Chain A
Amino acid sequence: DQQVKQNSPSLSVQEGRISILNCDYTNSMFDYFLWYKKYPAEGPTFLISISSIKDKNEDGRFTVFLNKSAKHLSLHIVPSQPGDSAVYFCAASANNNNDMRFGAGTRLTVKP
């Protein structure tokens, strides 16, 4: 039962352009969403989060958008840099509880 889906296993963009990573969820009880970045041989690193009471959260080059009616969120990275190349995981939880559900990840490659 995959409640969080990242349908694009990979994405390639040119340095300086925008990267848009998408995530869909099915559980309407989810009210807190997070993005993690993972480099090889390292654990996931927290990137940015958003509560369901908001539709946008911005932190530097990273912006997360939440569309509750569509059960969809996206991560925008602008401008993209080669160091952003990693696997990005979307995660969601309900009622701020302990059970985070992760998507399968999207591998982002930013080409110089």
Chain B
Amino acid sequence: DAKTTQPPSMDCAEGRAANLPCNHSTISGNEYVYWYRQIHSQGPQYIIHGLKNNETNEMASLIITEDRKSSTLILPHATLRDTAVYYCIVRVGSNSGYALNFGKGTSLLVTP
């Protein structure tokens, strides 16, 4: 699976949009981009994933560049409860036996 690069930490003011970048310049054509987050040592929580097109769900939006070499996770109105470590992962599909390579992620701190 392709490796990803994320900033180690970011800050965001409560109520503002949090934009978390991820670089995956070696991504292959059949690899998806996944985002998970982990709040205070709890089990990681799935946020969103995509292949080519931008995706949106009730939690976040995922913007993937046209060349698929980078992506951005957007939390439109960050709250204090969004303080967590966010992991960007690329993986070939599902149930393929490929592990999720979590890396160290981005520690997002949402401040009042």
Mutual binders A and B? no
A binding-site residues for B, Cβ under 8 Å: none
Interface residues of B (CB under 8 A from A): none
